[in-house]
Amino acid sequence: MTLVEMISLFDLIQDKVDTIYFTDAEKIEFLNTAQRVFVESILFNPEKSVDSDKKVDALLYPIIDKDITITPSSGDPTHVEIDTQVSGTVMYILSAQRQNGVAGAFVTAKWVRENEKGSFADNTFKAPSVTNPWVETDGTTLKFTPTCTDNAKVSTVREPVDMVTGVTDCELPVSVHEKVVGKAVALAGLASDDEALIAATKLI
């Protein structure tokens, strides 16, 4: 679905559920916000299941960058360095690996929460090491234990690029475009997500 087609669907739902009207620029703003909200709803769904990873891959694959090599300028890689490497703004880091020495193997790091660190550190089998690295983030740096002294690899979900008429359409899979439009209508305050999606389904 192109951006123009998404705007048309927005108009159709709008006519169905309300009489408030918006300019095309306002609709595009709603749509751009809606696609980010949709991505967040997939990534941070509290109802996790064994199929969660498959669902993320299936619904977000155009904005997933896998096994991107990062060469930190000093120590652990920063979020700025990661953003630069993926040519966008990272919303979520799916996995992180630490390299053991120059040309050494990459080892997947375990994400640790602050409340786990104490008990894990005292456990011989869970304590951090070059063969069992930990990783966490302080919001600016991806912090490995032991500290990353060579390269790192990350798999990420980046923000979808903003849509621009005649330039950039929604890069998410076509199968979720109706949901994005539904969320845009909901953000505009015209209907709930469910109401908008039901209206979209009837109109297409």
How confident is the model over 96-141, as pLDDT tens digits?
999 987 778 999 999 988 777 777 777 777 788 999 999 999 989 9
Both 33 and 107 in one domain: the answer is no
Both 128 and 170 in one domain: the answer is no
**Number of residues assigned to the chain:** 204
Residues 78, 121, single domain; the answer is yes
Per-residue confidence (pLDDT) for residue 127, from 0 to 100: 83
Mean of the pLDDT values across residues 156-173?
A: 94
Arithmetic mean of pLDDT, 87-99? 92
Distance of CA 154 to the CA centre of its chain: 13
Q: Are 119 and 192 contained in the same domain?
A: no
How far is it, in rounded angstroms, from Cα 180 to Cα 31?
Answer: 7
Instruction: Give the residue numbers spanning the domain of 149.
Output: 58-158
103 and 147 both lie in a single domain: yes
Longest dimension (CA), the chain: 65
**Based on the domain organization, do 76 and 116 belong to the same domain?**
yes
Q: Are residues 10 and 88 in the same domain?
A: no
Same domain, 66 and 153: yes
On the question of pLDDT at 26 being above 60, the answer is yes
Count up the domains in the chain and report the number: 2
Higher pLDDT, 9 or 190: 9
Same structural domain, 63 and 99: yes
118 and 150, same domain (yes or no) = yes
Judgement on whether residues 123 and 65 belong to the same structural domain of the protein:
yes
Measured between alpha carbons, how far is 155 from 64 in angstroms, rounded to an integer?
A: 7
Q: Do residues 64 and 88 make contact, with C-beta atoms less than 8 angstroms apart?
A: no
161: which 2 tokens? Answer: 């690029």
Same domain, 11 and 40: yes
